[in-house]
Structure 1
Amino acid sequence: MTVSDFRPVSESDEPPPFYRAVGGEVDVFRAAARRGSPILLKGPTGCGKTRFVEAMAYELGRELITVAGHEDMTSADLVGRFLLKGGETVWVDGPLTRAVREGAICYLDEIVEARQDTTVVIHPLADHRRELPIDRLGTTLAAAPGFQLVISYNPGYQSILKNLKESTRQRFVAISLDFPAPAVETEVVAREAGIDAATAESLVVLGNAIRNLDGSALNEVASTRMLILAGGLVAEGLPLRAAVQAAVVEVLSDDPEVVRGLGELVDAVLPRQ
């Protein structure tokens, strides 16, 4: 695959997904795409990993097939299976097989949530072989030009029992993403939620206050995604405090004491209405 394989953005009829680069991640992705190298995205929930992949797929002119990892997902869910249709048994490609055949980008989100056999099946696709064994068909499928594998996970969230094996990690080019700097995050929240910069800035200040809590009992922190959701409620006419309560505070915890503590933090940080 060469640079000439990429379609210019201007040839697409759809507007590009909005993504604000915060470092060298775009350059790394472009270089890896030219080589067909698989990419591992690391970063907290809601920091923009999925949007980043969407934006790069658009720029590179690649179809994007996204699969959300979960604990019940098996290799058959990715590769495919035989199904009964009209009284006949027919083979139906899974999303990974479709991407391999069509030369698409296959994005496996939170891959470590899936069963271990799911990770093993991607190994021959993620090294020099670039092929997918389909045991049930007794065949091996070579990846079409343009195919690229992208996986993601949240290192801070996964337990030690759910981590990527070294044999898997070493096949990938890794890109670390994090929440953007306040000025950039304010721009993103304002644009995505459709609110003014001052309101977006207040949400970002709150988000960073929650992220910097000492000894927090929270499993997750306030993500950029959460701040955009809160901003969207404000854009629909909801007061800022009520929007934050619904989209941030109540989402982060079910513990009444934690919710109360977050509410006090919100009262201290947000401007009085």
Structure 2
Amino acid sequence: MTATQRFDVATTFNVKARPGLEVIGFADDTHPHIPVRKPYVFRPELLRDVLAFLHDAGGDGLFLTGPTGSGKTSLILQIAARLAWPVQSVTCHGRMELAALVGQFVLVEGSTRFVHGPLSTAARDGHLLVLNESDLMDPAELAGLNDILEGHPLVIAENGGEVIRPHPKFRVVATGNTAGAGDRSGLYQGVLRQNLAFMDRFRVVQVGYPEPETEQDLIAAAVPKLPAEIIAKMILVAEEVRRLFLGAGTESGELTVTMSTRTLVRWATLSLAFKGAPNVFEYALEQSLTARAEPEQREAIHRIAADVFGDYWGAKP
């Protein structure tokens, strides 16, 4: 069994935490499935919820839900990277079957042998199983995870009845743009309403877009040469685009595209990469977001950006 190690929360995640607060991870940081560590600004409340789950899942999975690009997957991967916790990551889709997660027979040097899938490997070795876009998968297939989520052994009939008893550090994390109840907005094509019994086995954490101060730090870490004043204006544009995307109350939004944190970082990065181009901020914004928007919406977003940027709109970064 892989040796564990205690990590100081404050220093490991660069957040404010009470002195002596520690979390358990792994001592071996050479495993190939440990995510690549990248600059990241952790939101304390989300970090708290994920660390509590990793410490003691209590028979639960963890479901992170929120709008596209809000940082659901990156949150898990960057926590795992700092705790040296290997991850088996899968992006779900409508045709994915449980068998693809468990394993299958493959042809190797003229003979067939069973190769364990991400679920079997994670359960056996104590990895995190991350199911990205899980609400795109057939709920009847995902329901096959119910027993192992509760700690029951995984029995692989196809491999001679092999029995895998879940490792104490095995955890299941799912992400989705919905919380398993289907998509009422019509913007997330392919999303399916999930089985109630399956969702009942998850703690649900809402991951919204970061606060402006956090996004300022995120962009500054990703594009340190971009002036803070420009970053602040980009965030103001993003907030207005999101407001028009999300709508208010029961009313649907006026836009069908949104500026996620992922898109915001892309806009900042391209603005610097295309430095010297005519109206570089508009050029970068189009490649980052508005080229896939309807013409009227593209015009509206560019008008918002021009109003926010003022004289900077036609200037170089």
Which TM-score band (shorter chain)?
0.7 to 0.9
Secondary structure in 1 matching 2:310:
coil
RMSD: 2.6
**Amino acid of the structure 2 residue aligned with 1:5:** T
1:250 aligns with 2:291: yes
CA distance in 1, matches of 2:141, 2:5: 29
| Amino acid across the alignment from 2:147 | P
Among candidates 236, 251, 268, match of residue 205 of structure 1: 236
Distance 1:268 1:216, change over 3 A: farther
Query: CA contact under 8 A between 2:143 and 2:195: conserved in structure 1?
Result: no
- Alignment of 1:240 onto 2:281: yes
Tell me the amino acid that sits aligned with residue 191 of structure 1. Answer: A
Helix, strand or coil at the partner of 1:24: helix
For residues 144-155 of structure 1, what are the structure 2 equivalents within 5 Å?
144-155=167-178
Report 1:67-216 matches (<5 A).
67-129=90-152, 131-137=153-159, 138-155=161-178, 158-159=182-183, 162-194=192-224, 195-213=226-244, 214=247, 216=253
Distance in 2 (CA, whole Å) between partners of 1:51 and 1:15 is: 11
CA deviations on 1:193-244 (whole Å, 9 max, x unpaired) are 3323222211111110101125535344110000001111122134222111
Q: Matched residue of 1:271: which SS?
A: helix
Task: Determine the C-alpha separation between the residues in 2 that align with 1:219 and 1:97.
Answer: 39
Q: Secondary structure of the equivalent of 1:40?
A: strand
Q: Could you tell me whether the CA contact under 8 Å between 1:80 and 1:92 is conserved in 2?
A: yes
User: Equivalences for 1:221-240 in 2 at 5 Å?
Assistant: 221-238=258-275, 239-240=280-281
Task: Return the alpha-carbon distance in structure 1 between the equivalents of residues 148 and 77 of structure 2.
Answer: 21
Query: How far apart in 2 are the matches of 1:71 and 1:260?
Result: 34
Q: TM-score, normalised by structure 1?
A: 0.87
Does structure 2 conserve the Cα–Cα contact (< 8 Å) formed by 1:102 and 1:147? yes
Higher RCO, Cα 8 Å, sep 6+: 1
Give the alignment's TM-score, normalised by structure 2. Answer: 0.76
Show the counterpart of 2:50: 29
| Number of residue pairs aligned between Structure 1 and Structure 2 | 268
Query: Which of 284, 300, 306 is residue 267 of structure 1 equivalent to?
Result: 306
Cα distance change, pair 41–92 in 1 and its aligned pair in 2 (3 A): same
Equivalent position amino acid for 1:159 in 2:
D
Q: Distance in 2 between matches of 1:183 and 1:135?
A: 52
Unaligned 5+ runs, structure 1:
none
1:21-74 deviation line (CA, Å, top 9, x unaligned): 334221222221122342111111111111110122123331012111112211
* Native 8 Å contact 1:105 1:149 kept in 2: yes
Structure 1 residues 86 and 15: CA distance shift in structure 2, 3 A? closer
SS of match in other structure, 1:145? coil
Match of 1:5 in 2: 4
Letter in 2 for 1:187: D
TM-superposed CA distance for 1:122, in Å, is 1.5
